[in-house]
Structure 1
Amino acid sequence: MTTTYAALLRGINVSGHKKVPMAELRDLLGDLGHGDVRTYLQSGNAVFTSASDDEEALADQLGKAIADRFGFSVDCLVRSGAYLRAVADACPYPAESLEGKQLHVTYFSQPVEPERLASVDPADYAPEDFQLGDRVLYLYAPDGLGRSKLAEALARPALLKGVVATTRNWNTVAKLVELTGA
């Protein structure tokens, strides 16, 4: 039995740094024995099938293969299509009535306790807001991520020390759910 997964790579193809061509990423995933490999955008989203049920092992395998092939390390998260669907379904904001650039999901490598983010009071950033979910943070930023003061506050390294985090806008969240067939 195989499971469909999405690989979320952090910080590739940004301003010419850590270049990972999507065709090469597809080939790499295929070389690792995964099937039905597809990529979405240039920002590090790949969908594939695998007989493995260990997301962490799949992420480690992909990270090592990228380092071997491209000569630099990339943080990778791997999540099942069912998980991605559950994250989308649990969104506390009215995604259907917002523009994709207004709503973001930050995926975490592990659960993040609310206490870690207690120093960030959403009321100080209204109308922006955030909510924690299952290994995710939902961010409502009505003027987009690039102008979000709340996103800047949440990105302070001390808040998420030891946690891999990578963010996708809602359009990408929805597309990955679709591509995984969840």
Structure 2
Amino acid sequence: MHLTFLKEKPAEESIQQTETYDYKPDKFKIQDKEVFIYCEGKYHQSKLTNNFFEKKLKTGATTRNWKTILKLVELCKG
């Protein structure tokens, strides 16, 4: 599991168009300014990359694996 943070909320048209792409077994769900990504294999082998989302959604993006997200949440709780 990975989480992509988008710089801006993409246009609805871009979201709908991007959601038509199917890269099974990998899956993704766009929600506001985040993209939740499930990769059955390794992320670096997936087509669901920052570059893919930046081009399709026309905004900057950065991705972190779920373990890193959980660690960041833990650190923020102090």
State the TM-score, normalized to the length of structure 1.
0.37
Relative contact order, CA 8 A, sep 6+: which one is greater? 2
Aligned ranges 1:88-99 → 2 under 5 Å: none
Question: Aligned partners of 1:135, 1:167: CA distance in 2, in Å?
Answer: 12
Per-residue displacement from partner, 1:92-111 (whole Å, max 9, x unpaired)? xxxxxxxxxxx111101211
Flag the 1:110–1:156 CA change in 2: closer, same or farther, 3 A: closer
Matched, 1:168 2:64: yes
Per-residue displacement from partner, 1:28-47 (whole Å, max 9, x unpaired)? xxxxxxxxxxxxxxxxxxxx
Question: Aligned partners of 2:20, 2:37: CA distance in 1, in Å?
Answer: 13
Is the 8 Å Cα contact of residues 120 and 153 (structure 1) preserved in structure 2? no
Aligned ranges 1:1-182 → 2 under 5 Å: 103-117=1-15, 118-122=17-21, 124-149=22-47, 151-152=48-49, 155=52, 157-161=54-58, 163-181=59-77
Identity of aligned residues (%): 32
Q: Which runs of 5+ in 2 are unaligned?
A: none
Question: Aligned partners of 2:62, 2:50: CA distance in 1, in Å?
Answer: 15
Is the 8 Å Cα contact of residues 54 and 60 (structure 2) preserved in structure 1? no
What is the match of residue 7 of structure 1?
Answer: none
Q: CA RMSD in A?
A: 2.5
The one-letter amino acid of 2:31's match is: G
Flag the 1:156–1:180 CA change in 2: closer, same or farther, 3 A: closer
Q: Which runs of 5+ in 1 are unaligned?
A: 1-102
Question: Aligned partners of 1:176, 1:128: CA distance in 2, in Å?
Answer: 24
Query: May I ask how many residue pairs the two structures share in their alignment?
Result: 77
State the TM-score, normalized to the length of structure 2.
0.77
Question: Aligned partners of 1:120, 1:160: CA distance in 2, in Å?
Answer: 10
Larger Rg over CA atoms: 1
The one-letter amino acid of 2:42's match is: G
Could you list the structure 1 runs, at least 4 aligned residues long, displaced by more than 6 angstroms after superposition. Answer: none
Deviation at 1:128, TM superposition (A): 1.1
